Structure 1
Amino acid sequence: MWARGFKLLVFLVLYLQGQPKHCILGEKIAVQTNDQIENTPDVTVDLLRQEVQELSYLITVFLAQPRPQTTKVCRTPYVAMSGRCIVVLDKITGSWANMRKQCNNLGGDLLKVDDANFMADLIQYINAHPFNAGRYWIGASDLGHEGNWRWPDGSLVRLGTPFWGDYGEHLQQPDDGIHENCVNMPRDDRFFFHNGPCNEVNSGICEY
């Protein structure tokens, strides 16, 4: 009975500590506890050593199990995607500024796409749903700082592959200087970034 209580106590302590290295952890437990056994003459040493071995094995198995993934909860009309909350405004169109205002009214801002894996997930999400818009405004622009592309949070936009498209012209976006200061994702170039006139009428994608 005492051995089982000892096992449970050590197991709970180690679980709460969240030790990361399960294999090494099991070995350390056995060593440390065996040292304790040598200084504990009032218990059956062989029985306690067996309990320690069982405990080490249980901890190794337990910590090797995958941790449950938490699902991000988003408020309506946003949906969870790749750990972020987004909404595709497919049926609403406007200039870049107007679509940013639409996002602001929904408690968010135009989307920031700064990770290639997230971009791939986003494109897959759009293609998997009955969205029909030809272009989607996202948050990048160089308004007020020509040639210095930034997201709404002020961080720099990464240029080049794999984000920006080229329409097969062998000249990668962004281009056209002061006339095209806002970024959209066009369907006809597989949703790679293109800069365009900010007063162009497109749909948009928001996040918060």
Structure 2
Amino acid sequence: MRFTKVFAAATLALSGVSASPVTVTFDLIGILGFDLTEGNKYNSPIPPWLHGSKPGWYYGNNPFAYKDLPCLVGIICKILKFFPYALQCPTPPHNPPPPPNDGYTQTFSNITGATQADDFQTFGLVDTVEQCKAMCNSVQGCNFVNSYHDVNGKGGSTQLTCSLFTKCHDASTADNRGGQSQPDGSIDFIINSDGWCKNGVPISDPQ
């Protein structure tokens, strides 16, 4: 019943064609409780290499494990379709097996640093690299994904961190090694960091 009412509210929010973007954004936040717009980096305004950052969303097979994040499955996907300017749920990847060429070329593999760059778009949590790529395919302007394990970070999550960027990067920009103090006194560090660039997009000059 609750989801039925929320879905009806989403329909009413956009029933008037004269609604202003500000009003529509307010309605989206009121319905979902999250700001999933581009201006807010899709609910992750602080990039993952800065203190205080938090994942903006979760896309994967265990939504009940992340009740404090907007989980991009089920009814929320239907609601977001009424707000085309907001983050949209990706089309589920073909898994398994992935196609021989999924549209991405790997630029670095299994290193101990994560990309940090000014063209950062958003970041969240996923179960697989394929799901990270699917997120990139659903965000306008995304051309590069960096998936990695942030050990001790992100509230102790064992999921992959998935960061999206508009430009492609090689290992020279993967200089986020972690090193942030966590509430339990531990220090986070980065492992299993992979970079994936959409085919045909050149690597950005780090200079």
TM-score normalised to structure 2 length: 0.24
Instruction: Give the number of the structure whose residues are more often helix, by fraction.
Output: 1
Compare CA radii of gyration and give the structure with the larger one. 1
Instruction: Give the number of the structure whose residues are more often strand, by fraction.
Output: 2
